[in-house]
Structure 1
Amino acid sequence: MNINSKYTLHNVESTQTRRNGRTTNAADPSAGSRRLLWISAILTAMLAGFCKSIHTELKIRATPAEVWSVLMDNKKYPEWNPYHVRVEGELKEGNTIVVEVHKPNGNRIVLEPEVLRIRPERELTWGGGIPGLFTGEHVFEIVPCEEGVVLIHREKFSGIFVPFAELDSIEEGYAQMNQALKERVED
């Protein structure tokens, strides 16, 4: 029957549209592929620009076990930690914890990250957020050295809201926390 061929012909003709003075055919797979490539390229470029990291280090005259003990005793954070003033919940892989942050600029925030990795006397990592919008992976690393240990305190942020994250204040807060941890362990 010719009904199907008329319908098909009519359907193809109706997909032709006029854009920017050119006639295009929406049924042309190459037009859609090019559009998808452009959108992907733009999104990739945008998201790549929204990845930032903070990295701080401090030498501490102590053993990895001594530093680890203070770092894992989150109930005592209010006694010494000027940045993470409250960390509630068990520091165990897979657990969600509550972290109250007091930034040096006066801003405060409460986060609920997941504990991602625990490697005793070496690494504590938590992270979370909303993928694409704002995520962070916060890492404390303890690296043995001749004088004791190096505490590496870092975080990687990604998402379109990273430019609004007050990274300078966060980095200053990490440095303050590192110094307070050093004083706590060395005393």
Structure 2
Amino acid sequence: METGSSEKVNLSHHKIHTEIVIDAPADLVWSVLTDTANYKDWAVFLVGIKGEIKDGSTITVDFQLDSAKEKLTTLDHTISVVEGTEFFWAEKGPGGIRDNHHFCVEPLEGGKTRFVQSDEIMGGITFLMGGRLAKMYVEGYQAFNRGLKVEAERRAQSA
């Protein structure tokens, strides 16, 4: 199961929500999600994270907003982490846009996992580009989620 949607709250506030069910246990999905050194092998859209996924640490995130181009957008974020469950950041980025990006790993029955990637973009130039960014983020997050699913399920079969 895979879902993705965006909601326009108002002219300068959009919510993005994506989720996917992965046929692997939550601890394994978490280990793939936090194994940032190997993003280069499977990740799409959010193609790299440098730094440790640890509460209060600063990470550098590389986004490839347009898969047809090699250009990366690189941003630094201070993250909050609930070990084994979630990590997120909430900071202002380019154009004064506030970004509340959230990753959540939820165990399901039968050794499966629901992975949720959500975001809120608001303020700054969101009133100009919010709809376009929200659409791009939904598509990019879904591609990332599918890559995470494939990699986690591959590792589960290898274990």
1:119 alignment counterpart? 82
Higher strand share: 2
Kindly report structure 1 stretches of 4+ aligned residues shifted beyond 6 Å.
none
* Paired residue secondary structure (1:97): strand
1:84 alignment counterpart? 46
Larger deviation, residues 61-70 vs 153-162: 153-162
Q: Indicate the structure whose relative CO is greater, using CA pairs within 8 Å and at least 6 residues apart.
A: 2
Higher helix share: 1
CA-based RMSD:
2.2
TM-score by length of 2: 0.79
Q: Deviations over 1:151-184 (max 9, x none)?
A: 0110111113124252211110100000000000
Q: Is the 8 A contact 1:89 1:96 kept in 2?
A: yes
Quick one: which of 30, 53, 64 aligns to 1:68? Answer: 30
Query: Following the alignment from structure 1 to structure 2, what is the Cα–Cα distance between the partners of residues 91 and 149?
Result: 20
- What is the deviation of 1:48? 5.4
2:147 alignment counterpart? 180
Query: Following the alignment from structure 1 to structure 2, what is the Cα–Cα distance between the partners of residues 86 and 62?
Result: 22
Quick one: which of 150, 154, 160 aligns to 2:124? Answer: 160
Q: Which amino acid aligns with 1:88?
A: K
Map 1:125-136 onto structure 2 (within 5 A).
125-129=88-92, 133-136=96-99
Identical positions, percent: 27
Map 1:43-54 onto structure 2 (within 5 A).
49-54=11-16
The count of corresponding residues between Structure 1 and Structure 2 is: 140
- Structure 2 residues without counterparts, runs of 5 or longer: 1-8, 155-159
- What is the deviation of 1:103? 1.9
Query: Residues 170 and 48 from structure 1, CA distance in 2 versus in 1: closer, same or farther, beyond 3 angstroms?
Result: closer
TM-score by length of 1: 0.68
